[in-house]
Structure 1
Amino acid sequence: MRPVCNIAVELIKSRRAHSSAAALRLRGEMCKELKTKVLRLLPQSCSGPSVHQEGFTDGAEVLSCTVKALKEGHVVAVPTDTIYGLACLTQNSEAVKKIYDIKGRNGNKPLAICVGEIQDIYKFCKVKVKEALLADLLPGPVTLVFERSEVLNTDLNPFTSLVGVRIPDHGFMRRLCQMCAEPLALTSANISSHTSTVEVHEFQELWPKLAVVVDDGPIGDHSRLGSTVVDLSVLGKYRIIRPGCALSSTVDVLEHKYRLSEDSGKNDLV
């Protein structure tokens, strides 16, 4: 006969296992009910293709699922090279409104757009700088502000003639934009005025309002500063709207390589 203490220990372990399994089932049922898919990207391998790991999803499958959600008019959470963001299709007015509602964001604060390639910028922005300047800063942790073109959805930032554009230095995000074949409206994944997020659990209260949450683990340098935002809409000038995480390197490129001078005038994106 086994000692009573051993039986007690086994009973406790059994109850814990049952409780843990029940919690996992409950979480699964909640996600199913809320129709929120939380997908973990496979870690990238330097020596070849990523090997499947428990709990992770193949990048192609994550892309397919995210593109489908975006094209159906939903808002998704995505990783960038700086912080986690909320994204929707720029040209979908209802989806743009959803982002504001989800964040509780002031309707007079603009959303940036995100594209996959430098050439895509010219379709949606009126660019007054050399293409080489764009190539020196993008892809990277910088948002460049230009005059918007007539092609861009008029319901996106209708209060300004300008728009900020990003190409994150993040393979998943660039490929996502390419597959959507149009820009994504992009903003930080947090309730408005709250701290920016570098891990998906930090904005878990928003998950029920999202169709897909793409988990790429901890990202950025944990400074939570977001991208450096610079206005290049005035010929020969630049204006820093937000210092962000790449201020010194950005100013160095603008001033020393391209001889732009700082514009101290006001900007209607501030």
Structure 2
Amino acid sequence: MLRTISQKVLSTKLRTQIKAMKRAMDPSCPVIKLNKDYKDAVERTVDVLKNEGVVALPTDTVYGVACLAQSTKAVERIYKIKGRDLSKPIAICVGEVKDVYKWGQAPFSAKSEALLDDVFPGPVTMVTKRTDVLNPNLNSGTELVGVRIPDHEFIRELANRLEEPLALTSANFSSQMSSLCINDFSGLHSRLDLIVDGGLIGTGVQSESSRKGSTVFKINSDSFEIIREGCACDATIVTLRDKWGLTLLG
């Protein structure tokens, strides 16, 4: 009797191990190839995200992994998938400038909307104070949040369709090179629920520049600071300093 029970336990453990090995050997997950009509891809991605899934998708700089920012469970999965330090914050992505005001506080009222129209959409992340409606478990150690509106039609349509922000970070294991095509992050495939394949991001020199990621900046009343140079540092400085008269700190 005991032997039979032991055999059953061993058999169950063996089947579990075999399943785990099969998952490791087959790194595939559903892949959607983008074409000119994004409607089907958007709807399929929405379905996955609404079920607290994590997806990989193209942006205007590098491939990212994303989930619903308001889902604590999904955000925790992103950290586990990437092996990311929990103390490192994750940015949010919205579809329109008007959405920035719901989830983040405008840097200064008189000029803010026109200024944001000059930097968004684009390869930049603006760090600002978060509002109370944003998931308190997202970047819980800080009152700040980075906000992105990528210059990429698919991800903007996705954010607009969701009517809530995406938590968005680069599609790679933490501290490894950023990804310009889905093969670049093949090690993550088995951990994801969906991959949206938009092809190679950029070409030649443009591609290597994109690997730097978005330029991260923060506006402080009448001044600003560059937190990460990224791929659009010079253009951001020209816009904020030369056009809007803000003082560059640092």
**129-138 vs 255-264, which deviates more?**
255-264
Matched residues, number? 220
Q: Does 1:245 align with 2:224?
A: no
- Shift of residue 193 of structure 1? 0.4
> Are residues 242 and 146 of structure 1, via their aligned partners in 2, closer, same or farther at CA, if it must alter by over 3 Å?
same
- Residue pair 2:127, 2:217 contacting (<8 A) in 1 also: yes
**Letter of the structure 2 residue corresponding to residue 126 of structure 1:** Q
Which residue does the alignment assign to 2:29? 36
Q: Does 1:163 align with 2:145?
A: yes
**Letter of the structure 2 residue corresponding to residue 222 of structure 1:** S
Q: 2:176 aligns with which of 182, 194, 202?
A: 194
User: Aligned with 1:213: secondary structure?
Assistant: strand
Which residue does the alignment assign to 1:176? 158
**Letter of the structure 2 residue corresponding to residue 124 of structure 1:** W
Which residue does the alignment assign to 2:214? 227
**Letter of the structure 1 residue corresponding to residue 93 of structure 2:** C
- Residue pair 1:35, 1:211 contacting (<8 A) in 2 also: no
Which residue does the alignment assign to 1:127? 106
- Shift of residue 78 of structure 1? 0.6
- Shift of residue 79 of structure 1? 0.3
- Residue pair 1:79, 1:173 contacting (<8 A) in 2 also: yes
- Shift of residue 59 of structure 1? 2.2
Whole-angstrom CA distance in 2 between matches of 1:108 and 1:139: 27
Q: 1:74 aligns with which of 53, 63, 80?
A: 53
User: Aligned with 2:227: secondary structure?
Assistant: strand
Whole-angstrom CA distance in 2 between matches of 1:185 and 1:126: 17
TM-score by length of 1: 0.78
Which residue does the alignment assign to 1:47? none
Whole-angstrom CA distance in 1 between matches of 2:27 and 2:85: 26
- Shift of residue 35 of structure 1? 8.2
> Are residues 201 and 34 of structure 1, via their aligned partners in 2, closer, same or farther at CA, if it must alter by over 3 Å?
closer
User: Aligned with 2:134: secondary structure?
Assistant: coil
**Letter of the structure 2 residue corresponding to residue 254 of structure 1:** L
1:50-65 counterparts in 2 under 5 A? 59-65=38-44
Q: Could you list the runs of 5+ residues in structure 1 that have no partner in the other structure?
A: 1-28, 45-57, 265-270
Q: 2:244 aligns with which of 249, 255, 258?
A: 258
- Residue pair 2:23, 2:190 contacting (<8 A) in 1 also: no
Q: Does 1:87 align with 2:60?
A: no
User: Aligned with 1:174: secondary structure?
Assistant: helix
User: Aligned with 2:128: secondary structure?
Assistant: strand
Q: Could you list the runs of 5+ residues in structure 2 that have no partner in the other structure?
A: 1-21
Identity rate of aligned residues, in percent? Answer: 47
